[in-house]
Amino acid sequence: MTTVALIPAAGSGTRLGAGMPKAFVDLGGRTILERSVDGVFAAGVDEVVVAVPAELLDATRSMLPRVHVVIGGSVRSDSVRACLAEVGPSASDVVLIHDAARALTPPEVFTRVIDAVSQGSDVVVPAVPVTDTLKRVVTQQSGAVETVVATVDRTPLRAVQTPQGFRPEALRRAHAAAGDATDDAGLAEAAGYAVHVVPGDLMAFKITTAWDLRIARMLLESTGV
């Protein structure tokens, strides 16, 4: 069973606000991207393709000699498609897509996803239960005032992470039409595929805001992961 991982790392990191593309921000002496790539190889993945901003192509190739590096697109799904074009449709038995921004994802999450695809699922996502109480709101005309219209039952809700796992054919079909989604399983779902869920891990959280980066740095210091 061979596995290839596609890592979209071409985002600008607007919400993090670090003044540089998020994947290249320092996380305990190494970039977020290097830590993500290390995690992917530690999980036994055979081949890795990374999409980065055009201006960082050469620097990334020097930084990551073991991986294929391509230029990403203006939205996340374009970056994934740029990676896909590099590997071709049938280069492996399992294709993983993993956000560079989930730099502390434990190897067990990769294993659960790869195993589920190996055992016959077309599309697999890791996910964790939602712990906060959820409210649906409407925004009043000024935009400043929100009013609750419903309290949502969180029992059947899951927060979805990466790596997401695909049979190559399912991923190719999911990306056959242009379009963007924050996760690739969403595109596969729209293309008619059943999406199976395996347990995720809180350590697979996405570094999105300055708060998340602070937490990631503290976790690295305290656990040495």
Q: Which does 2 bind (CB under 5 to 8 A by kind): ligand CTP, Mg ion, none?
A: none
Nearest-approach distance from CB 76 to Mg ion, in angstroms: 6
**Which of ligand CTP, Mg ion, none does residue 173 bind to, with CB < 5 to 8 Å depending on kind?**
none
Nearer to Mg ion, 24 or 193 (CB): 24
Interacting stretch for Mg ion, rule CB under 5 A, among 10-18, 52-60, 189-197, 212-220?
10-18
Q: Which is nearer to Mg ion, 170 or 187 (CB)?
A: 187
- Measured from the CB atom, the residue of 93 and 158 that comes closer to ligand CTP is 158
Most distant CA pair in the chain: distance in Å? 56
Helix, coil or strand: residue 141: coil
State how far the Cα of 9 lies from the Cα of 101, in Å rounded to an integer: 7
Shortest Å, Cβ 38 to ligand CTP: 15
Contacts with ligand CTP, residue ranges (CB under 6 A): 8-15, 22-23, 51, 72-76, 79, 99-101, 206, 208
The least distance separating Mg ion from the CB of residue 184, rounded to whole angstroms, comes to 14
Stretch that binds Mg ion, among 9-17, 22-30, 35-43, 140-148 (CB under 5 A): 9-17
C-beta separation of 35 from 125 below 8 A:
no
Q: Treating both helix axes as pointing N-terminal to C-terminal, what angle do 32-42 and 107-118 enclose, rounded to 10 degrees? A: 50
Q: Which H/E stretch holds residue 71?
A: strand 68-71
User: What DSSP string describes 44-58?
Assistant: T-SEEEEEE-GGGHH
Cβ-based nearer residue to ligand CTP, 61 or 115: 61
Residue whose structure tokens are 């991207």: 33
Count how many residues are written for the chain. 225
Rounded Cα–Cα distance for residues 94 and 106 (Å): 19
Give the DSSP letter of residue 65.
T
Query: Are β-strands 164-166 and 94-97 bridged in parallel, bridged antiparallel, or unpaired?
Result: antiparallel
To the nearest 10°, report the CA torsion of 102, 106, 112, 118.
Answer: 80
Which one of ligand CTP, Mg ion, none is in contact with 10 (Cβ closer than 5 to 8 A by kind)?
Answer: ligand CTP
165 touches which of ligand CTP, Mg ion, none (CB within 5 to 8 A by kind)?
Answer: none
Q: Which is nearer to Mg ion, 3 or 77 (CB)?
A: 77
Residues that bind Mg ion (rule: CB under 5 A) add up to a total of 1
Contacting residues toward Mg ion, per CB under 5 A: 11
